[in-house]
Amino acid sequence: MAVEKAKTINFMMDEMWKWKMMEEKFDNMLKLYDYHEIHLPILQNRSLIQQGITAFMQREEPDFISRQTLNINNNKNPENQLSLRPEGTISVLHRAATMYRKGDIFRYYYQGPMFHRNREGVAQESSQLGVELMGSSNILSENEIISLGIKLLNEVGFYDATLKLNSYGCENCRREFFKDVDIELRTNADRYCPNCLVELSANPFAATHCENKNCQHSLPANLNINNYLCAECKTKFEQLKKIQANLGNIYKVDPNLTKNFAYYNGTVFDFVVKNQDNELVVGGGGRYDYLSERLTGRKIPAIGFYLDLDLIFQLMKERNLFLMFDNDFSVYICTQSPNLEMMVLQIAQELHSQNIITILGTEENPDNNLKQAQAHKCDLMITLREENIREGKVLLYNLEHKEQSYIPLNRILDTVQVVRKTLKK
Ligand SMILES: [Zn+2]
Ligand SMILES: [Zn+2]
């Protein structure tokens, strides 16, 4: 398989802790909501994937969608051909369907790389968090999932996260809408480029990203699902907006909210944060009540969302949000005399056993050791010198208060713990 130029974040060591911290914050919040982490295979059966991502498209197996997956071409038998997963919902549904009993509610999440080819055919890798709530069509489940998404973004420091909401309607209201879309695209075919014609007729909710000057790119404004919603879908959408407003989540109704998979119905949403004057979509999702029956034969109403972890990570760095969270207490320990290395290791071991982050200094020059301790944002620096050790003491430097003192060798652990408490870490 040729991955020509994958767009992916390459981590340096000093970034890894930040990524882990972001993941940990998400994990903790998801646990509070009783969501369970699951692992999904990266290699997936190609025909199941194709069937899933083209489900409910208005044409049979649209080619342009099939071209977007990254395929492993090592098996002649189509049954055994594999693709790198482009998303997670399809395989979660297949798994859930094998154990689902009516009345069950499954709350799952997963994270990891997803793969696709962009419009130029270039292979892309992106990291996503996927969250799914399966088994409920209740309005509460919708509000739970949407509020959870906002909560996750708040948790990593995006207090400005807002929502874009729309409704794609139920089977009944969509039927009329799709019929009129079909008429529009046939009677006014000359207003669209060939790509947009294919993409919009397969999925009227898609963003075609077309730049052709002779093409109008999207359906006319009045040809919008919002004008086709049945009474029940309208009421549900009103209820959802009311609950979200009561929860204090800021939303905008966006009648042009696009989704590239056609399997969504009812409530769809995007999570948005501001970046200078732009609004950036950092995730989104919606209901997919009909997808399970189409793929697995079992009716499982469901709703879910994804978060674009690469983009969120990038924005967290730009906004210096990691500094806010970087409050781990840590100790730097070094020696200025030869033959004391063993003692340094023993003290470090003792501190580690108390769950205190301890960094071993390897510099010979005292100034360089101090620079290292500062670079690691350590709270304390312990320096061992032969003349002090002979008197049974070590040098302790408090980097925050810029104070130094000598402490007895046998009181190192106690003293460090006391400082830690005063720093409330
Ligand atoms: Zn409806
Ligand atoms: Zn076009």
Domain extents for the chain?
A: 13-323, 328-422
CATH of domain 328-422: 3.40.50.800
Beta-sheet strand order (sheet of 265-275):
36-37, 106-117, 123-134, 302-308, 278-287, 265-275, 162-167, 251-253
Phi then psi dihedrals of residue 294, to 5 deg: -65, -40
Q: Token pair 């006391």 is at which residue?
A: 418
pLDDT for the residue numbered 4: 42
CATH number for the domain running over 13-323: 3.30.930.10
Q: Report how far apart, in Å, the C-alpha atoms of 44 and of each of 76, 80, 87, 98 are.
A: 16, 10, 10, 17
For the chain, how big is the Rg over CA atoms in Å? 28
Distance 265 CA to ligand 1 centre (A): 9
Helix (H) or strand (E) holding 222: none
- Give pLDDT, residue 163: 97
Q: Mean pLDDT for each consecutive 10-residue tract of the chain (425 residues)?
A: 47 79 95 96 91 81 77 79 93 94 96 92 94 95 96 93 96 93 95 92 90 92 94 96 94 93 94 92 97 95 97 92 77 91 91 88 86 90 94 94 93 92 77
The pLDDT value given to residue 209: 87
Residue 1's pLDDT is: 38
Q: Please tell me the predicted confidence (pLDDT) of residue 12.
A: 66
- Model pLDDT, residue 78: 74
308 CA → ligand 2 middle, Å: 26
C-alpha span between 68 and 120 (Å, rounded): 10
Q: Which ligand is nearest to the CA of 211?
A: 2
Ion ligand 1 neighbours (CB, 5 A) are 169-170, 172-173, 230, 233
**Ligand 1 mean position, distance from CA 287 (Å):** 13
Any bridge partners for residue 381, and if so which?
Answer: 332, 397
Tell me the longest C-alpha to C-alpha distance in the chain.
Answer: 95
pLDDT of the residue at 383: 95
Measured distance CA(169)–CA(164) in Å, rounded: 16
β 251-253/162-167 pair status: parallel
Distance 350 CA to ligand 1 centre (A): 65
Question: How confident is the model at residue 66, as a pLDDT?
Answer: 75
Q: Do domains 13-323 and 328-422 have the same CATH topology?
A: no
Nearest C-alpha neighbor of 58 from the set 188, 181, 167: 181
